[in-house]
Amino acid sequence: MAKIVIIGAGSHIFAKNLITDIVSYPELRENTIALMDISKEPLDLITAFANKLVKQHGFGTKIESTTDRREALNGADYVIVTIQVGGGRQAGRDIAEKYGLANGWTGPASGIINGIRQIPVILDICRDMEELCPDAWLLEYANPLSTIIWAVNDYTKVKNIGLCHSVPHTAAQLAKYIGAPIDEVSYWVAGINHLAWFLEFKWNGKDAYPLLREKFKDPDVYSNPEAHWGGPDVVRGELFKTFGYFTTEASFINAYFLPYFRKRNRPDVLEQYKLETHNHPERHPKRDSELKKLTQAADKEFREQISGDYVFPITKSREYGARIIYSLETGVPARINGNVKNTGLITNLMQGSCVEVPCLVDREGIHPCYVGELPPQVAALNEANLHAQGLVMRGIVEKDKNKIFQASLLDPLTAAILTIDETKQMVNELFEAEAKYLKGYK
């Protein structure tokens, strides 16, 4: 019987989906799911959900719950990490927005601060795993995903893969654009997390790119407010027209990685690419109250469902985690996209970096697929980000503020907006605002 640990289980929506995904496979229902979070109240809530789900459907799943990380990890076979150290809206994100670098968990500036918070804790988790469950797989969902996985590969011996839902979600979006059922499309995707490229996109085995190009001759297809869950999909639409390949993640996230769209003091450009009036509410302070209301309403509904007679359905999400565990346990093969060390997988991207590539999964393990060269124009966009990611990762592990400053200068978006002096000032402000997490930096 396998032991599956979820660290950061207090994140209700994500943990709820992961738990439901696991028990959706009959072969995984007799295992142990150990839920761990440092915050007891949300942990108790998701534990109550898990127990109710298992009881309602008569499964034999054993549910454990603890705030003690080492207790949870002891004897684990799979460790799913979904943590957000510090939680909430970071002070660093406000400073980034002040300098025209509005961004989320993975982009420049505040994404660096997110890494400063996350990477040391995740490396501590890995050291515990090396001691308590050395043969376990780390299934890592926390952001900034690329720099975290790069650090785990370079500084630990833990078997790992970085997971993100941007590839399957984008595949579903592309199917919607061309009017195809999702189960009739296939694809081959590679690059870096949140900026990977659909090198092939097919409908019933035939190249669907000509149809997508035809659809995108009408800008309304991708620029209307309902085009994508994040609003208009203009950035990706323009990237597709310009560089020839469609990329993963939402348009407002793509714009964090590139120098073309978020021009400081250029409201005309922000409006052109629909990055100011249409954006994810989490990225706009003025919409924080709206997001808070939605979150509170969802939390209230979840509590009522747990305490009432609501029967939780067994439905699968598009997350890869449970599918990987199922394949490793049963030997039934699967293909997913994962974030792994670049050991010659993509030949024209930095070797040793973290890349997102197709992976085959079976009882013998997770096997990243050889991709070869990316088209040079998209490889160049990826490579520019990798240099910044690698340097900031070293700066975090080595506690070297100067490396983090230099990494900020290398970031394509920061370089397009700020001078050297402005970048240095911003980094200083970020360090002052996040001093709690920056002890020991030189």
Burial zone of 198 (CB within 10 Å; 0-12 exposed, 13-18 middle, 19+ buried): buried
Distance (Å, whole) CA 257 – CA 6: 30
Please check whether residue 15 is in contact with residue 342, taking contact to mean a CB–CB distance below 8 angstroms.
no
Q: Cα(154)–Cα(218) distance, rounded to whole angstroms? A: 46
Cβ partners under 8 Å of residue 313, min gap 6: none
Cα distances (angstroms) measured from residue 83 to each of 17, 88, 108, 193, 227: 15, 12, 20, 18, 30
Longest dimension (CA), the chain: 62
Tokens matching residue 91: 């002070």
Can you tell me the distance from the alpha carbon of 124 to that of 314, in angstroms, rounded to the nearest whole number? 34
* CB of 155 closer than 8 Å to CB of 396: no
Identify whether 57 is a catalytic site residue: no
Size of the chain, expressed as the number of residues it contains: 442
From the candidates 12, 165, 194, 387, which is the catalytic residue?
165
Cis peptide bond upstream of 144, omega within 30: yes
Active site residues: 165
